[in-house]
Structure 1
Amino acid sequence: MSLPALTHNHDLILRQLADELAQAVYRLTWKFTQSDAALAQRMRNAAITVGVLLAAHPGAPASRASVRRIVFGAIVVLGELGYCLHFARRAGFINETDLKRIGAMKDELIRHLDVALAEHAPARAGPAQH
């Protein structure tokens, strides 16, 4: 996806952060795949979905509304991942260190996505003419 009004660097940063998060979640869930395969798979799917959303249609310009839908979708999926991390910690599948490490990666990606969302805010209408 080529994000209008975002620099190529910011687009690349979003993709790199999403990829790093997906790789980290995959490695983390490997620890408890046998104990709870469904939770591990759900976490992997969420992390990979973020990358898929951000990689959709590389190089194709997208409308503001389209970019906002993609970015908002990624933020929602990251919320799902956040809850799964919390659940995995409470269930004893991951430790506090892993929760904080992956949580920090997720939060950094959300901060960058929030910037993209703000940069693609709907254009304000001018004053009403009578």
Structure 2
Amino acid sequence: MPPLRLDHVTLSTARMDETVAFYGDILGMRPGYRPPLESNGVKVDGAWLYAEGGDYPMLHIINRKPEEGATGAFNHFALRGTGLLAFLDHLRARAIEFKAAPVADTADSQVHFFDPNGVKVEMIFAERVDPSLLT
């Protein structure tokens, strides 16, 4: 029984409102239904973020200070999108620093940037453009 796909990514943050707003503004993700959750009998405050027009919570945000070393070897998470050049303009308009590049031997381009918690986010686009447009 191999895994079928990545189900969701969970981020812990002490900057709940800022983090939810960031993903809403930058990626168009919106808070939606989240069941009441507990851990060891204690309510866990948080939000589930859904892609615009989507019905699945891709990003789970937990309102608590991240535990020291809890990320271990975690490096980044990646999402696939459309509209590469419009997305780059969107980041520029919000003064979000990014690195963009074509992915070798594919028709894809990738964009890396950081959220307010220092988590690296990658967006992958099935688009190739002149590399001079990626800066």
TM category, shorter: 0.3 to 0.5
Q: Determine which structure has the larger helix proportion and give its number.
A: 1
Structure whose alpha-carbon radius of gyration is higher? 1
- Structure with greater contact order relative to length (CA < 8 Å, sep ≥ 6): 1
Given the two structures, how large is their TM-score scaled by the length of structure 1? 0.32
TM-score scaled by structure 2?
0.31
